[in-house]
């Protein structure tokens, strides 16, 4: 049977269709190769997006960089009024740094407490439900945080935190000004709330990835639960927790709407926690749709976008490397 | 002995501080939900949900156009991001065990953490500048760039979870690899993939910053993909800017309630349907 089938083509009896088919699909170029190639192309879209983003941001900020040079990063003023235009990213860079620093300083210790409690100490029956609830904090849209921040959170901060501080230590330079609640401190604190789910859930994952033998060793020499965490778990999970912190920082740096709604939006160099300010993200959100196409103002805003992009890129690349190194240990099953 | 009791005390203290941290984190969540319901519920009416905004100072204006806009944007975004994300996920899971695959996976994680406002600038530079005005299309492009990394990652993970015995069985039947991937592996992994898609929808439904730069907002119903459109988060932001009009503020809270209900029901729905699945999407979406 097989012989006669193979012999057939030699006798010149190959049907035209089959010959055509073999032309169209030579053996070395099968459907599977087409499938693999197209999936590579789609995966390449991700690379393309990052490349295109950098290209457009650089191209868009060329005019402002040509006009102001390094002054764009060292100047003090941001004046969009025609005639006396002057653009500097410095107030916004500093504003972002101040708010993110507050967010990390307040949010990370809280998140660590949550992660340690949920990963190591809480009764088993509440661990899962509680971590789900904490994660819901990440599901609330940023604009809703902004609305709540403006009409509820701001008043708490103003009445119960800023007014007392202002009354007792108002003479310190960093606490000067009238506490209105629309300032760096409130913006930083709302960012602290917003980074909690990110930092705590990744820290939680990292701690769960610590091998049980670490804990067993500590328990076997009579350690209390807290000592187990301190000696056996935290040291082992250190770099992953650090990575989670940096990821939280990245979130805080890029967060836009909630900050825009409660920071007051005055482009001034930060001098006091109780001062109206602006961040890189908030100035873009506020002024972008008002800037005329092709104007220097628009270019300046894109320049700030470029700065923000570079900040976020560095922070995230660094953080991914830290987290990735730790979670890889468990064979990638954690993430 | 006193040393021992001091150690026990420290243990108790750590436990107490842990409880305190959890309570401190849950308090804002509870307050947000409470305030949104308290301020939003009185504003909700059939008129609010169905009428277009029109003039913001008009007390009878509604958020019907914003709800419609959000749904249209979600639909358009899914059309763009889901196919690309699926294929990218298939690539990472099936062919991605090499240097290129690892690079893509890494860049994907980086892209997932991009500030959304920067993505807004990108979509503005590509679509808005090309068309010449703000449009729904530009918003969909921005949102799909936000959605893409989440879909890609969850697709990859769900595909990797498919037992190799299923793949082997397909191979043994002589089914081609592409056919196996599309008709067998993908179908087996569909629960996880749907989870990722739903969570990413919940994420993009609440995105505001990129929309400010791309779709601008509008007071009227949908009039074409190349025209400005409204969306719930944008409506909330506009109402906040007009919050000296009490009717606008009430409308904003109403829109916030609709948005929170939409987002949380997607989230809770997914979590209820798929207990104990991949933490990745949950942590990042």
Write out pLDDT tens, residues A152-166.
Answer: 999 999 999 988 888
* Inter-chain CB proximity A305 and B121 less than 8 Å: yes
Q: Do A136 and B283 touch (CB under 8 A)?
A: no
What is the model's pLDDT at position A17?
Answer: 61
Q: Closest chain B residue to A307 measured between Cα atoms?
A: B118
Q: Kindly determine whether residue B29 and residue A136, on different chains, have CB atoms separated by under 8 Å.
A: yes
Report chain B residues whose CB lies below 8 A from the CB of A121: 14-15, 18
Q: Are A176 and A272 in contact (CB under 8 A)?
A: yes
Which pLDDT belongs to residue A26?
Answer: 53
Two tokens, residue B227 = 């025209």
pLDDT tops 50 at residue A330? no
CA distance A184 to chain B (A): 19
- Nearest-Cα residue of chain B relative to residue A52: B122
Look at B208 and A142 and tell me if their CB atoms are within 8 Å: yes
Domain ranges of chain A: 71-328
Confidence label for A260 from pLDDT (cuts 50, 70 and 90): very high
User: Residue A3: is its pLDDT beyond 50?
Assistant: no
Which fold is adopted by the domain A71-328?
Answer: MetI-like fold (1.10.3720)
Q: Inter-chain contact A133–B29, Cβ cutoff 8 Å? A: yes
Tokens 């954690």 correspond to A334
Cα–Cα distance, B103 to B100 (Å, whole number): 5
pLDDT recorded at residue A281: 93
pLDDT at A29 over 70: no
Interval A223-240 mean pLDDT: 89
Using an 8 Å Cβ cutoff, are A238 and A322 in contact?
A: no
Beta bridge partners of A86: A79
Q: How far does the CA of residue A307 sit from the closest CA of chain B (Å)?
A: 10
- Please tell me the distance in Å from A40's CA to the nearest CA on chain B: 6
CA distances, B184 to each of A30, B10, B163, B274 (Å): 19, 55, 11, 21
Contacts of B90 (CB under 8 A, 6+ apart): A39, B155, B156, B159, B181, B186
Cα A290 to Cα A80, B173, B248, distances in angstroms = 10, 62, 22
How many angstroms separate the CA of residue B41 from the nearest CA in chain A?
15
Output the pLDDT for position A20.
58
CA B5 to chain CA mean position, Å: 49
Which residue shows structure tokens 């893409």? B148
What is the distance between the alpha carbons of residues A121 and A224, in angstroms, rounded to a whole number? 11
**Average pLDDT for residues A244-258, to the nearest whole number?**
92
Please name the residue of chain A whose CA is at the shortest distance from the CA of residue B24. Answer: A110
ipTM: 0.89
Residues found in chain B: 285
State the pLDDT at residue B36: 95
Greatest Cα pair distance, chain B, in angstroms, is 78
Answer yes or no: do A49 and B111 touch at CB < 8 A.
Answer: yes
Q: Write out chain B residues lying below 8 Å of A226, CB-based.
A: 10-11, 13-15
Describe chain B by its helix, strand, coil percentages, rounded to 5.
Answer: 80, 0, 20
Q: What residues of B are in contact with residue A143 (Cβ under 8 Å)?
A: 206, 208, 233, 236-237, 256, 259
Give DSSP secondary structure letters for B154-204. HHHHHHHHS-HHHHHHHHHTT--HHHIIIIIIHHHTHHHHHHHHHHHHHHH
pLDDT of res. A23: 56
Which range among A17-21, A110-114, B241-245 shows the weakest confidence by mean pLDDT?
A: A17-21
Query: Which residues of chain A lie closer than 8 angstroms to B236, CB-CB?
Result: 143-144, 147
pLDDT at B178: 86
B230 φ, ψ (degrees, to nearest 5)? -105, 160
Distance CA B248, CA B58 (A): 9
Q: What is the pTM of this model?
A: 0.87
Give the one of B106, B212, B283 whose C-beta lies nearest to A285's C-beta: B212
Count Cβ–Cβ pairs < 8 Å, chain A vs chain B.
288
Tell me which chain B residues have a C-beta less than 8 angstroms from the C-beta of A41: 87
- Residue A10: pLDDT band by 50, 70, 90 thresholds? very low
Q: What's the pLDDT tens digit per position in A53-101?
A: 999 999 999 998 888 888 888 888 888 877 778 888 899 999 999 999 9
pLDDT at position A14, please? Answer: 57
Closest alpha carbon within chain B to A222: B4
Query: What pLDDT is recorded for position B3?
Result: 84
Answer whether A144 sits within 8 Å of B206, measured CB to CB.
yes
Q: Tell me the chain B residues in contact with residue A130 when contact means C-beta distances shorter than 8 Å.
A: 22
The mean pLDDT values, 10 residues at a time, for chain B of 285 residues are: 84 93 94 95 86 76 89 95 93 88 90 91 90 89 94 91 90 88 88 89 91 84 84 91 86 94 90 59 43
Q: Which residues pair with A277 in a beta bridge?
A: A264
Which H, E and C letters describe chain B, residue by residue?
A: CHHHHHHHHHHHHHHHHHHHHHHHHHHHHHHHHHHHHHHHHHHCCHHHHHCCCCCCCCCCCCCHHHHHHHHHHHHHHHHHHHHHHHHHHHHHHHHCCCHHHHHHHHHHHHHHCCCHHHHHHHHHHHHHHHHCCCCHHHHHHHHHHHHHHHHHHHHHHHHHHCCHHHHHHHHHCCCCHHHHHHHHHHHHCHHHHHHHHHHHHHHHHCCCHHHHHHCECCCCCCCCCCCCECCHHHHHHHHHHCCCCHHHHHHHHHHHHHHHHHHHHHHHHHHHHCCCCCHHHHHHC
Kindly state the tokens that stand for B182.
Answer: 């599309």
- Could B115 and A256 be called an inter-chain contact, meaning their C-beta atoms sit closer than 8 Å? yes
Tokens of A8: 């057939």
Kindly determine whether residue B279 and residue A150, on different chains, have CB atoms separated by under 8 Å. Answer: no
Examine the pLDDT at A196 and tell me if it is beyond 90: yes
């Amino acid at each position: 049977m097989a012989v006669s089938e193979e012999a057939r083509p030699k006798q010149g009896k190959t049907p035209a269709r089959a010959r055509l088919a073999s032309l169209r699909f030579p053996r070395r170029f099968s459907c599977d190769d087409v499938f693999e190639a197209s999936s590579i192309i789609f995966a390449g879209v991700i690379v393309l997006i990052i490349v295109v983003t950098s290209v457009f941001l650089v191209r868009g900020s060329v005019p402002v960089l040509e006009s102001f040079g390094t002054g764009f990063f060292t100047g003090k003023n941001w004046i969009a009024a025609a005639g006396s235009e002057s653009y500097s990213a410095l107030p916004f860079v500093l504003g972002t740094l101040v708010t993110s620093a507050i967010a990390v300083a307040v949010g990370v210790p809280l998140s660590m407490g949550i992660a340690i409690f949920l990963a190591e100490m809480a009764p088993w029956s509440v661990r899962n439900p509680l971590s789900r609830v904490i994660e819901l904090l990440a599901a609330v849209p940023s604009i809703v945080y902004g609305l709540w921040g403006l009409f509820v959170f701001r008043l708490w901060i103003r009445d119960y935190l800023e007014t007392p501080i202002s009354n007792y230590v108002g003479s310190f330079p960093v606490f000067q000004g009238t506490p209105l609640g629309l300032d760096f401190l409130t913006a930083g604190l709302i960012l602290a709330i917003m980074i909690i789910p990110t930092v705590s859930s990744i820290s939680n994952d990292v701690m769960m990835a610590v091998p049980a033998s670490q804990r067993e060793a500590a328990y076997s020499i009579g350690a209390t639960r807290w000592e187990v965490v301190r000696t056996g778990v935290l040291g082992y999970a250190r770099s992953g927790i650090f990575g989670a912190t940096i990821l939280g920082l990245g979130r805080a740096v890029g967060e836009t709407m909630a900050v825009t709604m409660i920071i007051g939006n005055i482009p001034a160099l930060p001098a006091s926690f109780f001062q109206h300010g602006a961040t890189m993200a908030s100035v873009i959100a506020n002024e972008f749709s008002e800037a005329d196409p092709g104007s220097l103002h628009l270019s300046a805003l894109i320049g700030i976008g470029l700065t923000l992009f570079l900040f976020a890129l560095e922070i995230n690349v660094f953080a991914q490397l830290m987290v990735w190194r730790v979670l890889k240990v468990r064979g990638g099953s954690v993430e | 002995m006193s040393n021992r009791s001091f150690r026990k005390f420290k243990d108790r203290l750590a436990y107490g501080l842990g409880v305190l941290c959890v309570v401190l984190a849950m308090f804002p969540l509870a307050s947000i939900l409470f305030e949104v319901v308290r301020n939003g519920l009185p504003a909700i009416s059939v008129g609010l949900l169905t009428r277009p905004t029109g003039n913001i100072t008009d007390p009878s204006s509604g958020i019907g156009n914003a709800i419609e806009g959000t749904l249209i944007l979600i639909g358009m975004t899914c059309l763009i991001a889901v196919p690309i994300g699926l294929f990218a996920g298939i690539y990472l899971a099936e062919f991605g065990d090499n240097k290129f695959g690892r690079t893509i996976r890494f860049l994907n994680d980086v892209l997932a953490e991009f500030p959304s406002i920067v993505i807004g600038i990108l979509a503005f530079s590509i679509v808005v500048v090309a068309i010449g005005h703000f449009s729904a299309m530009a918003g969909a492009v921005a949102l799909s760039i936000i959605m893409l990394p989440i879909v890609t990652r969850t697709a990859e993970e769900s595909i990797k979870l498919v037992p190799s015995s299923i793949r082997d069985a397909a191979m043994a039947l002589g089914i081609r690899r592409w056919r196996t991937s599309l008709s067998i592996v993908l179908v087996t992994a569909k629960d996880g993939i749907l989870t990722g898609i739903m969570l990413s929808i919940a994420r993009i439904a609440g995105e505001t910053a990129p929309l400010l730069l791309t779709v601008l907002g509008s007071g009227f119903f949908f009039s074409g993909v190349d025209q400005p459109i409204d969306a719930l988060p944008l409506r909330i932001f506009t109402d906040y800017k007009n919050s000296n009009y009490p009717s606008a503020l009430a409308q904003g809270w109403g829109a916030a309630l609709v948005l929170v209900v939409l987002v949380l029901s997607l989230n809770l729905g997914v979590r209820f349907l798929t207990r104990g699945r991949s933490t990745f999407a949950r942590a990042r979406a």
